């Protein structure tokens, strides 16, 4: 039987738990949370445990660096991030790929009541289709039909998730159009056009997606 294990790059390393701690951008007004490593079951609870011990500050943001991992855990973390109004960031020289990218898209600014996701201009944000691991053998018709049903369930879950976090559905369509062993790396220009802020590492300033997207509409 097919087994879905990790929403991952084909040649990525095995699924080990992420390291969750305080990021270097922590300040008097920002609880900066570092999430480094792959998503596995139990990471949501560990993230909640970390956040429960933080002091009350004006903002909170999760700084991601991950190759991917469990799609289920990533979506659960994303829904929690959205509910709590936590911003998301992919910092300079970091990568947030596959399942990580979907968790990242849930970033939200509770004070201004709007999505808030930011990638560094020198970071890598990557999407691709999920894949199932399977044994090298012949499969029955029932087993193949079960895999098709599973794929449909995952696809519907992603569609519902994108609606819950107010993420652009064109990103989902783009990611599903890529093979599981290929990766769509979102350019800074495409990020801005799909509602993702870009921190310009050259000029050290923020480029807000809403300002780019509203140009010429006022």
User: For the chain, what is the mean pLDDT?
Assistant: 86
| pLDDT tens profile 100-115 | 999 999 999 999 999 9
Q: Structure pTM? A: 0.85
Is 180 a member of any domain?
yes
Is 48 a member of any domain?
yes
pLDDT of residue 52: 97
Is 162 a member of any domain?
yes
Is 79 a member of any domain?
yes
Beta strands of the chain (E only): which ranges? 19-22, 30-36, 59-65, 87-90, 95-97, 108-109, 114-115, 117-120, 124-127, 184-185, 197-200, 205-207
Q: What is the mean pLDDT of residues 153-167?
A: 90
- The CATH number of residue 86's host domain is 3.90.226.10
Domain count along the chain: 1
- The boundaries of the domain holding residue 74 are 19-213
| pLDDT tens profile 28-39 | 999 999 999 999
Is 152 a member of any domain?
yes
Kindly give, in sequence order, each residue whose CB lies less than 8 Å from that of residue 65, ignoring residues fewer than 6 positions away: 34, 35, 36, 37, 90, 91, 94, 95, 96
In the structure encoding, which two tokens stand for residue 86, read together?
């936590």
Is 142 a member of any domain?
yes
Is 144 a member of any domain?
yes
pLDDT of residue 101: 95
Is 6 a member of any domain?
no
């Amino acid at each position: 039987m097919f087994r879905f294990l990790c929403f991952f790059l084909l040649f990525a390393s095995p699924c080990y738990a992420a390291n969750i701690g305080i990021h270097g951008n922590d300040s008097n007004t920002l609880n900066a949370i570092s999430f480094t490593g792959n998503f596995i079951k139990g990471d949501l609870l560990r993230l909640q445990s970390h956040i429960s011990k933080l002091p009350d500050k004006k903002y909170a943001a999760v700084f991601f660096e991950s190759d991917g991992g469990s799609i289920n855990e990533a979506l659960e973390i994303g829904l929690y991030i959205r509910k709590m109004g936590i911003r998301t960031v992919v910092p300079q020289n970091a990568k947030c790929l596959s399942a990580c990218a979907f968790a990242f898209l849930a970033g939200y600014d509770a004070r201004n009541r709007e999505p808030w996701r930011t990638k560094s201009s020198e970071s890598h944000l990557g999407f691709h289709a999920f894949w199932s691991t399977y044994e090298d053998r012949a499969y029955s018709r029932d087993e193949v039909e079960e895999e098709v049903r599973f794929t449909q369930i995952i696809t519907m879950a992603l569609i519902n998730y994108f609606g819950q976090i107010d993420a652009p559905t064109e990103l989902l369509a783009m990611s599903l159009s890529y093979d599981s062993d290929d990766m769509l790396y979102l350019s800074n220009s495409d990020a801005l056009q799909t509602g993702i802020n870009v921190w310009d590492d050259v000029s050290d300033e923020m480029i807000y997606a809403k300002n780019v997207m509203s140009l010429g509409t006022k």
